[in-house]
Amino acid sequence: MNKAQTFVPVAVGAALILIVAAWALPTWNFVISIGLAKGLAVLGLVLMMRAGLVSFGQGLYYAIGGYCVGLMVNLWKINEAVLLLIAPVIIAAATAAVAGLLLSRYRDIFFAMLTLALSMLLYGLLVKSVELGGTDGFNIRGVTLFGLPLSGTARFNGLVILVLICFTAVITVWCFGKTALGRLLPGIKDNEIRVEYLGASASKTIYLSYILAAILAAVGGSMSGILVAHVDPEMAFWATSGEFVVIAVLAGTGNIFTPFIAALALEFVRTFAYQHAPNTWQLVLGVIILSMILFLPTGLGGVRFGKRKATVEAGEKA
């Protein structure tokens, strides 16, 4: 049985489990929505990390997605979800295509700091501009999909759409990883010069990966705006991008399901910690994150790899 015959059923099963969980636990739909929306942004970040690059500016595209929805709903009175999702994808892809021309030439800390600078530029613009909502941002109401409401009391409908989007994103990234460009990402991380000597373009691979990561973050921001019914400049702030990096570290790069698992786990832990320890919830959250980094240095994606490696070694000894 090839990997496609096992991967797709697992992805379908995971999507069904999320939908059933959201239906059975309606009070947790808000938390699940935030976790999955952030998971989309982290999925793109993990893709970049496979090439050895860490972006501290994914909040830029997360905010682009959210603010596109906010502006279209409040200024242009567009409430159709299809249009609200297509526009951010186009704008984020165009922005990443321009920014990527510069960023694809840099590596290591220079890449990280440049992405952070771009995100903070947008944050400053959003905070200072009254036309863009200022520090208050926008409330988003009345979004529908062909007449079906997606937010408020009908958040479950929007959550089902988000799960389907996450499923599509996972399949897309998995297929990208099977292409020639996708297979080059680990090679770029290990030895970029050798990749260039083989005749492949590391800059082109990073450029296309950056655009894909931007699109995923924009879709996540769009769905966050629709389901949370609010967007504000904090979406582009460095703390948001830093949170994406923390989730990516917890997820690891070995599995494309783990960004969503790590994002959901972090949101649930944050919620429980705030509920039961409102004065020290940051401390509780920090201890849990440090413990995971200490005992799972390769992230959640390395758990299965470790078992597989042990199995292989046992088979070789036999």
* Domain ranges for the chain: 16-236
CB burial readout 205-234, b (16+ within 10 A) else e: bbbbbbbbbbbbbbbbbbbbbbbbbbbbbe
Whole-model pTM: value is: 0.89
User: How much is the pLDDT for 309?
Assistant: 44
In angstroms, rounded to a whole number, what is the distance separating the alpha carbons of residues 128 and 118? 16
β-partners of residue 149 are 144
User: How much is the pLDDT for 317?
Assistant: 44
What backbone torsions phi and psi does residue 284 show, to the nearest 5 degrees? Answer: -60, -45
User: How much is the pLDDT for 231?
Assistant: 94
User: How much is the pLDDT for 302?
Assistant: 65
Q: Is 9 exposed, middle or buried, given 0-12, 13-18 or 19+ CB atoms closer than 10 A?
A: exposed
- 129: number of CA atoms within 13 Å, CB side? 14
User: How much is the pLDDT for 142?
Assistant: 87
In angstroms, rounded to a whole number, what is the distance separating the alpha carbons of residues 223 and 29? 13
User: Do residues 229 and 152 make contact, with C-beta atoms less than 8 angstroms apart?
Assistant: yes
In angstroms, rounded to a whole number, what is the distance separating the alpha carbons of residues 270 and 286? 10
Q: What is the mean pLDDT of the chain?
A: 87
C-beta atoms surrounding 119 within 10 Å: 25
User: How much is the pLDDT for 150?
Assistant: 87
User: Do residues 244 and 45 make contact, with C-beta atoms less than 8 angstroms apart?
Assistant: yes
**Can you list the residues of the chain whose pLDDT is less than 50?**
1, 305-318
User: Do residues 122 and 64 make contact, with C-beta atoms less than 8 angstroms apart?
Assistant: yes
Question: Residue 178 is which amino acid?
Answer: K
In angstroms, rounded to a whole number, what is the distance separating the alpha carbons of residues 35 and 24? 17
- Torsion (CA) 172, 174, 175, 181 in degrees, nearest 10: 110
- 41: number of CA atoms within 13 Å, CB side? 37
In angstroms, rounded to a whole number, what is the distance separating the alpha carbons of residues 302 and 147? 43
User: How much is the pLDDT for 305?
Assistant: 42
- 119: number of CA atoms within 13 Å, CB side? 29
Q: If DSSP states are collapsed to H, E and C, what string results for the chain?
A: CCHHHHHHHHHHHHHHHHHHHHHHCHHHHHHHHHHHHHHHHHHHHHHHHCCCCCCCCCHHHHHHHHHHHHHHHHCCCCCEHHHHHHHHHHHHHHHHHHHHHHHCCCCHHHHHHHHHHHHHHHHHHHHHCCCCCCCCCEECCCCEECCEECCHHHHHHHHHHHHHHHHHHHHHHHHHHHCHHHHHHHHHHHHHHHHHHCCCCHHHHHHHHHHHHHHHHHHHHHHHHHHHCEECHHHHCHHHHHHHHHHHHHHCCCCCCHHHHHHHHHHHHHHHHHHHCCCCHHHHHHHHHHHHHHHCCCCCHHHHHHHHHHHHHHHHHC
